[in-house]
Amino acid sequence: MDVVQLLILAGLGVLGGVLSGLVDGGGIIFVPALVYAAGWDIKEAVAASLVVVIFASLSGTLRNLKSEDPVDWRVAALLSSTAAPASLIGVYISHISPETVVQVAFATLLLALAYPTTRGPIGDGGDRKKMLLPLILVAGVFIGTLSGLVGVGGGVLLVPLMVLGLGLQTKRAVSTSLVVVLCTAIVGAAGYIATGFREELLSLPPLVVGSILGAWFGVRLRELAPQRVIRYGFALFMVLAAALTLADAVP
């Protein structure tokens, strides 16, 4: 890896880490970063993304220990108990499926989330009718499977689930989702390493270091940054990444 590529990956790691702390979307940065900046195939990028997400979410979680919106540990434990093991389902699907399946799944997720991202933070869920526990657990299994398949950690889906389904305030849901993402990424990454993802680990330090630094800034920026600009910029990035991914998937 030359110096220029190292600096690019480190910069993308910082950006992904910031997004992880800010909107819990760092994994969406890491996958296209490795595909288009480092030339990896998407399955390798998904596995690497989960490894990097471990460090980014851990950094954000540690920062949140002093946050005004702390983790709801009961909710974190509840969702981690289903999402984390389910990530191995996604690993298995990725292992037996053609690369095109992973590409289409990743692009579809990006397009599905782009418009909701522009709509801004979800309102507090305290006055809403909460979802039944079995539905929450089923949703956790779905999110965990998707995380293992496309390497995004799942925070972008966990936050609305916690707000609308469990009644958490948005900022506290973001803090809590980082813990669930951490657990899910650990299990998913372990699954990929067990199935052969090992040599590529040597290329990850720039992204890991960048993501750790970026996540600390992201948690702080959550309260200070112009949210409208961030939302639209992030949504535009998702649409662009989806278009590039779909273009690669077409023979």
Chain centroid to CA 147: how far? 7
Q: Along the 251 residues of the chain, how does pLDDT read in single tens digits?
A: 567 777 777 887 787 777 666 665 556 777 877 787 777 888 888 888 888 888 878 877 887 777 777 889 999 999 999 999 999 999 999 889 888 888 888 888 778 877 776 665 555 555 555 667 888 889 899 989 988 988 876 777 787 788 878 888 877 888 898 899 999 999 999 999 998 887 777 778 887 887 778 777 776 776 666 667 666 776 787 788 788 888 877 76
The model carries a pTM of: 0.78
Among residues 99, 69, 78, 231, which one has the least CA distance to residue 143?
A: 78
Element (H, E) at 133: helix 133-150
Give the C-alpha separation, 240 to 246, whole Å.
10
131: left (phi over 0), alpha (psi -120 to 50) or beta: beta
Give the whole-angstrom CA distance, residue 122 versus residue 213: 27
